[in-house]
Amino acid sequence: MTSRCFIALLLAAPLFSLPAAAATTEAEQHLHVAVAEAVAVVVSAPSRAALVERLRPVLEKHISFAVMTRRAVGPGWRQFTPAQQQKAVQLFTTLIIRSYSNKFTVGERPMVTYQPASATAAGRVEVPSTFVYQGSRYSVTYRLEQSEGWQITDVVIEGVSLVANYRSQLDSEFKKGGAETVINSLSQSVTRPQ
């Protein structure tokens, strides 16, 4: 390789990283908006019931519950009928929204700081953050993917992936009795008193 070719490649290298940097910035901005919208609901909700009700559309807008459910179920997902997949997504969505809502006290604002995002693959970004809430500090990493816009596809809290945590449970349920066993397990979790 001639020195001219080498210099030309060095000069062009930053141009190749521009799309990744732009995507990372776009994903970060999307996440900041999503978290701000969720925090606004937490602060303004008059009651726990209202918090859950008002958070649902915000979270459904910013989280790909279909992707999360599919990954949480694992390889067995391909054996679900379309109706079973739809039911599993509906139940898993309700379970996650309820669980997320329970982490907050109505009217109290968490402090959130973000670290720089990193592109983990084409169309995939991780954004580490720190939540300070009620005197405790939590490390939270959001995983976003670009499909039709950026959406959250996993949340890692203190090193534990939400998707991986549920996958260990749901994969076990699937091996016991297939799709219906998974759906029954999700249904029981949703109907269990809080």
pLDDT digits (tens, 9 = 90+) for 149-169: 899 999 999 999 999 999 999
Note the pLDDT of residue 8: 40
Note the pLDDT of residue 10: 37
Helices 82-102, 162-191: axis angle to 10 degrees equals: 90
Pairwise CA distance, residues 100 & 94, whole Å: 10
Confidence of residue 106 (pLDDT cuts 50, 70, 90): confident
CATH code reported for the domain at 3-191: 3.10.450.710
pLDDT at residue 67 tops 90: yes
Average pLDDT over every residue of 85-113: 91
**Closest residue by Cα to residue 77 from 192, 176, 174:** 174
Average pLDDT over every residue of 80-98: 96
Give the torsion sign (CA, 115, 119, 123, 125). negative
pLDDT at residue 42 tops 70: yes
Note the pLDDT of residue 193: 73
Note the pLDDT of residue 20: 59
pLDDT at residue 23 tops 90: no
Lowest mean pLDDT among 16-30, 122-136, 151-165: 16-30
Q: Are 175 and 73 in contact (CB under 8 A)?
A: no
Pairwise CA distance, residues 25 & 117, whole Å: 8
Average pLDDT over every residue of 158-181: 93
pTM of the model: 0.84
Regarding predicted confidence, which is higher, 184 or 49?
A: 184
